Structure 1
Amino acid sequence: MNNIIWEYSITRFNYLGLFLMKGKTSCNVSATESKKRSPARKKDINKRLLSLFFIFEREREMGASVSVPERSVHQFTVKDSSGKDVNLSIYQGKVLLLVNVASKCGFTESNYTQLTELYRKYKDQGFEILAFPCNQFLYQEPGTSQEAHEFACTRFQAEYPVFQKVRVNGQNAAPLYKFLKASKPTFLGSRIKWNFTKFLVSKDGIVIDRYGTMATPLSIEVCIHSLPIQIVLSYTIICDVGFMFCG
């Protein structure tokens, strides 16, 4: 129950950050408006801001990178949607894009559509997408692993593998995601902030870059295309700003 309450609190805080960034609420108050506020009202506002600060600091602390012994994605074994083991070493020599997906998210349509387009364009050039359904963000992947797989394949003609549902945050996070987050934390910590966070992995299984929800699959196409030539290329400069831009 505590984990559920905590995840809900973080989600609300993330939404507030996005709300402020979009200019829906202004922190700039005129001198006249400020004088109208009672001392009790000002105290309440300061208390709320302080609470948000502590939530932010706690999220940074909980999202801190965890040391993991593995050095490559290829060292992990995951389960497919039917529960069978899949050793990721079978993807050696391929550029990978790992994504935590959800079927009932506001970003589902755009991300799944572009993932399909991206995969069809580069699948014959040593590129693979690995999708991991996750229900940790406002319960937006409520069905079974097989239902998530069927949704992606039926509605969006996904030809890439959709694996068993996983947790990406917390003590029970999948070992693979602990490794991904430790390899590429953000300035807000390593915690995954929302659905459709993407990790770009080299042919050697090394995590090259991390992209938040707002970075669409097609926006990182240039990085994927150039990876076989220049592995160290980093394309996304827009990440790490608020919960949507910071995976």
Structure 2
Amino acid sequence: MSSIYDFSAKSLAGEDVPLRRFEGQVLLIVNTASACGFTPQYKGLEELQQKYGDRGFSVLGFPCNQFGAQEKGSEAEIAQFCSRNYGVTFPMFSKIDVNGAQAHPLYAYLKGEKGGLLGSAIKWNFTKFLVDRSGRVVSRHAPTTTPESLAKDIESLL
């Protein structure tokens, strides 16, 4: 596979979503969790979605329970949590693994394109991958990187 557009993922509602649906957009792909110290980043992610969504940008959220079991809820519970607490409007997908033998193929691809400081494995929730309009993974950002701090990078790709 040569770009992120060759993958698909299930939405929280169970719909199979081809990522080709986002072709031509700048994307911020994030593994999320509802009970993490970084969970308040949902607010910043939604602010980016609101600020840049009409210019061809989207956040894509991928809940993951691999780090401290911080995403125990069902898909319906995750959707309700994100909507109720953070007003999330960006696409959220079904819970996935991002590391190991059962890692979602999209995450295997993302990690292969941009490794982290200590190798390719995702170290924690809210690791972020910035993707340009052609589907190329431009950068990878640690969980400690706030969504707001990525605004200039996003603007440069829009």
TM-score by length of 2: 0.97
Partners of 2:117 and 2:50 lie apart in 1 by 33
Q: CA deviation at 1:151?
A: 0.9
Q: 2:39 aligns with which of 82, 88, 108?
A: 108
Q: 2:22 aligns with which of 69, 88, 91?
A: 91
Relative contact order (C-alpha < 8 Å, sep 6+): which is higher? 2
Count of paired positions: 158
Percent identity for Structure 1 against Structure 2: 47
Bigger fraction of residues in strand = 2
Match of 2:112 in 1: 182
The residue matched to 2:92 in structure 1 has which SS? Answer: coil
TM-score by length of 1: 0.63
Q: CA deviation at 1:148?
A: 1.0
Q: CA deviation at 1:138?
A: 0.5
Letter of the structure 2 residue corresponding to residue 153 of structure 1: S
Which of these two proteins has the greater Rg computed from alpha carbons?
Answer: 1
Structure 1: where are the runs of 5+ without partners? Answer: 1-69, 229-247
Q: CA deviation at 1:85?
A: 0.5
Alpha-carbon RMSD across the aligned residues, in angstroms, is 0.8
Q: CA deviation at 1:214?
A: 0.7
8 Å CA contact 2:116–2:122 kept in 1: the answer is: no
Partners of 1:124 and 1:82 lie apart in 2 by 24
Match of 2:55 in 1: 125
Query: Following superposition of structure 1 onto structure 2, how do residues 102-181 of structure 1 map, counting pairs within 5 Å?
Result: 102-109=33-40, 111-181=41-111
Query: Following superposition of structure 1 onto structure 2, how do residues 31-70 of structure 1 map, counting pairs within 5 Å?
Result: 70=1
Bigger fraction of residues in helix = 1
Partners of 1:160 and 1:224 lie apart in 2 by 16
Is 1:212 the counterpart of 2:142? The answer is yes
Dislocated runs of 4+, deviation >6 Å: none
Q: CA deviation at 1:159?
A: 0.7
Structure 2: where are the runs of 5+ without partners? Answer: none
Partners of 2:125 and 2:152 lie apart in 1 by 22
The residue matched to 1:78 in structure 2 has which SS? Answer: strand
